[in-house]
């Protein structure tokens, strides 16, 4: 092997010298191509991306076999090593961020920065000890997904885990998310370089890093969301009815799982199917006789999604009905969340100070002729107050929508706690190129099929959601993970073009 250095990477030979011998329309599959390279003569054939042939050395007269399978194995091993390195660096970065963040909030009791984190922590303790699932008197307050993720920590530490354990757990999940993003990119484009670029962006993007160390549901939700989108792509590309049914069922299961982590994701699967129906309408004119035309495929996915999705959420629905006597799809936080986003005091940022006042009013002047529980009445009171205000102030509603849009997609943090100039510069220099490249990537891929256009759906859905409710940079993280895949596509193409230019210069210099 030492006498034939080009055997180590036959694809390099193709890039450097063989491109000019191949017809432009047939560069992936060819037979019996003869290349004379210095003292070597190569006879090469390529089928389905595998290179086979012989190499002859005029100096020593030796003949060796050239087998592309070894090259593919070598490239696979190199890909595995690079992905492992990226994941290890991602975990180290998140672990360092976790220790830094914990040192900042250590003065808080019990070391939690967000109010949501406190409620998750409390409910996780209740789950671990098989106590009633409620926070103080609020029984339909949080979805049980993230508390169930935290509950094993309470078992492991005998009921009193340190907050740092939860941050390390989230850092591990965040590192796994880096792998998931890369795997999803590879599923879409069948290109290892795109997968590596996508994982690299997910590993280092600041908002993705910092949300991985907060005691919040963002990271496990994002993992479930990537899985949800992945099986939807698999269903769209299914080659048999059995595969289509199987992947559609998994899509329903993972859609329900995402809702258990984040209730606002309840309508995403419906939104995705409506988008798929709309995208598939032109296909009716061309493939009406095909058993796998996009429209028929979308109908099958919908027919499987609805019953399986409802079955997965049924335990939560039954539990809520037993408590409230009403159908509650997710939680009784719709009213507070809506009033937080649409009210006389709304600014686009979250400020739940009004909740205590509404609770006091409901205690003192209960809603007349209502037999509902107190928690349900408070939720309905806030919802009604928000909608009544919005009807009478349409101009302010539109103004708030614009403010929330820019808060969601701002090029640097909105919150004063993250107003450090260095933090702003880091966020700007990472977020802006990803967004620009992703928009270009979407323009390149959306006509190829809905399985590529799906990458933009989380961004659209979250934008529609958060121009109504409050918005912040952390709410765009799920959308950014999909945009990173589009940006990775463009980065791969950019560096591939530069590589080709460099190889062309080498060819010119050796002529």
Q: What is the pLDDT along the chain (511 residues), one digit of tens a residue?
A: 333 343 444 444 444 344 434 444 444 444 555 555 555 555 656 555 455 565 555 555 555 555 555 555 667 788 999 999 999 999 999 999 999 998 887 655 556 888 889 999 999 999 999 999 999 888 999 999 999 999 999 999 988 899 999 999 999 999 999 999 999 999 999 999 999 999 999 999 999 999 999 999 999 999 999 999 999 999 999 999 999 999 999 999 999 999 999 999 999 999 999 999 999 887 666 644 455 688 889 999 999 999 999 999 999 999 999 999 999 999 999 999 999 999 999 999 998 989 999 999 998 888 787 888 999 999 999 999 999 999 999 999 999 999 999 999 999 988 877 778 898 999 999 999 999 999 999 999 988 889 999 999 999 999 999 999 999 999 999 999 999 999 999 999 988 876 555 444 434 433 4
Let me know if residue 174 belongs to a domain.
Answer: no
pLDDT score of 104: 80
Say if CB 344 and CB 338 are below 8 A apart.
Answer: no
Range(s) of the domain holding residue 368: 334-392
Would you call 135 exposed, middle or buried from its count of C-beta atoms within 10 A (0-12, 13-18, 19+)?
A: middle
Which of 329, 330, 351 is CA-nearest to residue 339?
Answer: 351
Let me know if residue 137 belongs to a domain.
Answer: no
pLDDT score of 417: 73
Let me know if residue 98 belongs to a domain.
Answer: no
Structure tokens at 152: 């094993």
Say if CB 43 and CB 32 are below 8 A apart.
Answer: yes
Say if CB 62 and CB 3 are below 8 A apart.
Answer: yes
pLDDT score of 333: 93
Say if CB 451 and CB 188 are below 8 A apart.
Answer: yes
Say if CB 181 and CB 481 are below 8 A apart.
Answer: yes
Instruction: Tell me 325's DSSP state.
Output: S
d(CA 152, CA 125): 9
Question: What's the maximum distance between 2 C-alpha atoms anywhere in the chain?
Answer: 100
**Backbone phi and psi for residue 366, each to the nearest 5 degrees, phi listed first:** -65, 150
Beta strand 63-67 pairing with 30-37: unpaired
Let me know if residue 22 belongs to a domain.
Answer: yes
pLDDT score of 105: 77
Which of 171, 200, 195 is CA-nearest to residue 430?
Answer: 200
Residues 6+ apart with CB under 8 A from 292: 238, 244
Residue showing tokens 């009544």: 388
Residues 6+ apart with CB under 8 A from 16: 503, 506, 507
pLDDT score of 22: 41
Structure tokens at 504: 């062309």
Say if CB 44 and CB 27 are below 8 A apart.
Answer: no
Let me know if residue 180 belongs to a domain.
Answer: no
Would you call 267 exposed, middle or buried from its count of C-beta atoms within 10 A (0-12, 13-18, 19+)?
A: middle
Domain end position, chosen among 392, 412, 428: 392
d(CA 84, CA 88): 6
**CA distances in angstroms from 387 to 335, 346, 392, listed in the order given:** 10, 13, 9
Domain end position, chosen among 36, 61, 86: 61
Query: According to DSSP H, which parts of 157-191 are helical?
Result: 163-189
Count up the domains in the chain and report the number. 2
Domain end position, chosen among 348, 373, 392: 392
Which of 434, 128, 447 is CA-nearest to residue 279?
Answer: 447
Let me know if residue 71 belongs to a domain.
Answer: no
Let me know if residue 315 belongs to a domain.
Answer: no
Structure tokens at 459: 């961004």
Residues 6+ apart with CB under 8 A from 129: 154, 159
Q: Give CA torsion, residues 24, 27, 29, 33, to 10 deg.
A: 90
Say if CB 6 and CB 12 are below 8 A apart.
Answer: yes
Which of 206, 186, 208, 209 is CA-nearest to residue 198?
Answer: 186
Q: Is the peptide bond prior to 399 cis by the omega test (within 30 degrees of 0)?
A: no
Would you call 79 exposed, middle or buried from its count of C-beta atoms within 10 A (0-12, 13-18, 19+)?
A: middle
Say if CB 316 and CB 337 are below 8 A apart.
Answer: no
pLDDT score of 7: 41
Q: Give strand pairing partners of 345.
A: none
Query: According to DSSP H, which parts of 325-393 are helical?
Result: 334-341, 355-364, 374-392
* Helical (H) or strand (E) element with 300: helix 294-324
d(CA 13, CA 41): 12
Let me know if residue 42 belongs to a domain.
Answer: yes
């Amino acid at each position: 092997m030492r006498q034939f250095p080009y055997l180590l990477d036959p694809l390099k030979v193709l890039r450097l010298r063989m491109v000019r011998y191949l017809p432009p329309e047939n560069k992936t599959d060819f037979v019996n191509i003869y290349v004379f390279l210095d003292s070597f003569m190569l006879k090469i054939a390529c089928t389905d991306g595998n290179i086979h042939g012989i190499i002859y050395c005029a100096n020593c007269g030796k003949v060796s076999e050239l087998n592309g399978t070894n090259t593919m194995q070598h490239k696979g091993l190199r890909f595995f090593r690079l992905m492992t390195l990226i994941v290890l660096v991602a975990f180290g970065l998140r672990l360092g961020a976790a220790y830094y963040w914990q040192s900042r909030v250590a003065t808080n009791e019990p070391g939690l920065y967000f109010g949501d984190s406190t409620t998750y922590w409390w409910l996780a303790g209740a789950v671990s000890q098989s106590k009633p699932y409620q926070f103080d008197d609020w029984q339909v307050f949080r979805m049980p997904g993230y508390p169930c993720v935290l509950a094993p920590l309470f078992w492991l530490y005998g009921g009193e885990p340190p907050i740092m354990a939860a941050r390390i757990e989230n850092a591990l999940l965040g590192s796994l998310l880096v792998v998931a993003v890369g795997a999803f990119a590879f599923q879409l484009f069948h290109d290892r370089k795109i997968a590596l670029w996508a994982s690299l962006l997910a590993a280092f993007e600041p908002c993705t890093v910092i949300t991985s160390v907060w005691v919040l549901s963002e990271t496990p939700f994002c993992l479930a969301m990537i899985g949800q989108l992945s099986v939807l792509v698999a269903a769209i590309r299914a080659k048999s009815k059995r595969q289509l049914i199987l992947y559609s069922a998994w899509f329903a299961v993972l859609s329900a799982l995402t809702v258990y982590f984040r209730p606002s994701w309840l309508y995403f699967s419906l939104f995705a199917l409506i988008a798929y129906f709309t995208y598939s309408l032109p296909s009716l004119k061309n493939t009406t006789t095909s058993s796998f035309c996009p429209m028929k495929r979308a109908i099958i996915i919908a027919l499987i999604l609805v019953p399986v999705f409802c079955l997965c959420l049924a335990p939560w629905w039954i539990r809520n009905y037993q408590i409230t006597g009403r159908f509650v799809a997710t939680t009784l936080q719709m009213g507070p969340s809506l009033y937080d986003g649409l009210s006389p005091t709304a600014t686009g940022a979250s400020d739940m100070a009004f909740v205590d006042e509404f609770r006091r009013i409901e205690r003192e002047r209960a809603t007349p002729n209502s037999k509902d529980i107190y928690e349900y009445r408070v939720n309905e009171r806030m919802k009604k107050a928000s909608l009544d205000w919005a009807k009478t102030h349409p101009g302010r509603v539109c103004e708030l929508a614009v403010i929330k849009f820019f808060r969601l997609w701002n090029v640097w943090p909105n919150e004063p706690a993250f107003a450090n100039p260095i933090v702003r510069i880091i966020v700007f220099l990472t977020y802006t190129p990803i967004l620009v490249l992703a928009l270009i990537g979407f323009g390149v891929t959306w006509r190829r099929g809905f399985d590529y256009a799906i990458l933009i759906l989380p961004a659209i859905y979250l934008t529609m959601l958060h121009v109504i409710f409050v918005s912040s940079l952390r709410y765009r993280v799920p959308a950014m993970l999909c945009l990173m895949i589009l940006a990775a596509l463009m980065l791969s193409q950019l560096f591939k073009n530069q590589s080709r230019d460099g190889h062309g210069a080498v060819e010119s210099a050796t002529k």
